[in-house]
A and B are shown apart, each in its own frame.
Chain A
Amino acid sequence: SQQGEEDPQALSIQEGENATMNCSYKTSINNLQWYRQNSGRGLVHLILIRSNEREKHSGRLRVTLDTSKKSSSLLITASRAADTASYFCATASGGSYIPTFGRGTSLIVHP
Chain B
Amino acid sequence: GAGVSQSPSNKVTEKGKDVELRCDPISGHTALYWYRQSLGQGLEFLIYFQGNSAPDKSGLPSDRFSAERTGGSVSTLTIQRTQQEDSAVYLCASSLSRSSYNEQFFGPGTRLTVL
Contacts and interface: CB of A to CB of B under 8 A. Distances in A.
Interface of A: 2, 30-31, 33, 35, 41-45, 48, 50, 88, 92, 96-104
Of B40, B43, B50, B98, most A-chain CB atoms within 10 Å: B43
A45 B103 contact: yes
Instruction: Please classify how large the interface on chain B is, using the bins under 10, 10 to 19, 20 to 34, 35 or more.
Output: 20 to 34
A42 B106 contact: yes
Contact of A31 (B40, B41, B100): B100
Contact of A99 (B91, B104, B105): B104
Contacts of B40: 103
Interface of B: 4, 31, 33, 35, 40-43, 45, 48, 50, 56, 91, 93, 98-101, 103-109
Contacts, number: 53
B42 A98 contact: no
Nearest to A92: B100
Contacts of B35: 101
Of A92, A96, A98, most B-chain CB atoms within 10 Å: A98
23 contacts: A30-B100, A30-B101, A31-B101, A35-B106, A41-B108, A42-B91, A42-B106, A42-B109, A43-B104, A45-B103, A48-B101, A92-B100, A96-B100, A97-B48, A97-B50, A97-B99, A97-B100, A98-B56, A99-B100, A103-B40, A103-B41, A103-B42, A104-B42
